[in-house]
Structure 1
């Protein structure tokens, strides 16, 4: 049984997301996701194959950027942006991941369309320090 620290888990999530969503290296991504991966997201089919197949179906322009990542114990929360995904707006996400044996074992997310400056009642961007649109 592999036990990882919160700092290691944060680094693993960032590397895993970059490998899968940005590099589209599915073979390399398998080393990050457990073959018993549990998916709680309503828009993603179950298991590691469900996630990988969803990414395969995304446009080549799809990209993940991370804004903030925090960890406690075997859980990590990553605040990020999924852009170029074939939707009118990018998704701003809070991805919650649980680690087991050094791999991403379970996932939940909270997603919201990214607001433009004109749509933002607060006048502040949802991601980063400036609006993209």
Structure 2
């Protein structure tokens, strides 16, 4: 049994391992075999998530701007670029940890807006608009 883990650091490392490094074998250490997926665009379970990532372009990249943790929950605000779509996706990912691994996931996704499209005049991610 592992000692106490930093949930934020663990989830960020998990996302980097899966989405950026595409190390599926290593990613199994982070995601529960009984992983519950609430996202409407991802098939059930850990394999549904891994299969989605395998089907995405090799240029896929996850960049995080904010990570918050409260008990067993971690919320990430990030950008998925190189996803094969005309725009990057800005994501709020909510993960529930159990037994030291990612056990459950929800997300909210939207296309990243350009400066010309932003009615607020502010970027959706970090402090700059996409190029």
Q: TM-score by structure 1 length?
A: 0.95
Decide whether the 8 Å contact of 1:3 with 1:101 is kept in 2: no
- Answering whether residue 78 of structure 2 is matched by residue 106 of structure 1, we say no
| Helix, strand or coil at the partner of 2:48 | helix
Structure 1 runs of 4+ aligned residues shifted over 2 Å read: 1-5
Decide whether the 8 Å contact of 1:33 with 1:103 is kept in 2: yes
- Answering whether residue 80 of structure 2 is matched by residue 82 of structure 1, we say yes
Q: Larger relative contact order (C-alpha < 8 A, sep ≥ 6)?
A: 1
Q: Which residue of 2 aligns with 1:97?
A: 95
C-alpha offsets along residues 56-96 of structure 1, whole Å, 9 cap, x if unaligned?
00001100000000000000000000001011111000000
Q: Which residue of 1 aligns with 2:67?
A: 69
RMSD: 1.2
| Helix, strand or coil at the partner of 1:97 | strand
Structure 1 unaligned segments of length 5 or more: list them: none
Q: TM-score by structure 2 length?
A: 0.96
Structure 2 unaligned segments of length 5 or more: list them: none
* CA distance in 1 between partners of 2:29 and 2:58 (Å): 22
What is the correspondence of 1:1-133 to structure 2 with a 5 Å cutoff?
4=4, 8-133=6-131
TM-aligned CA deviation for residue 4 of structure 1 = 4.3
CA separation of 1:103/1:74 partners in 2, compared to 1, >3 Å: closer, same or farther? same
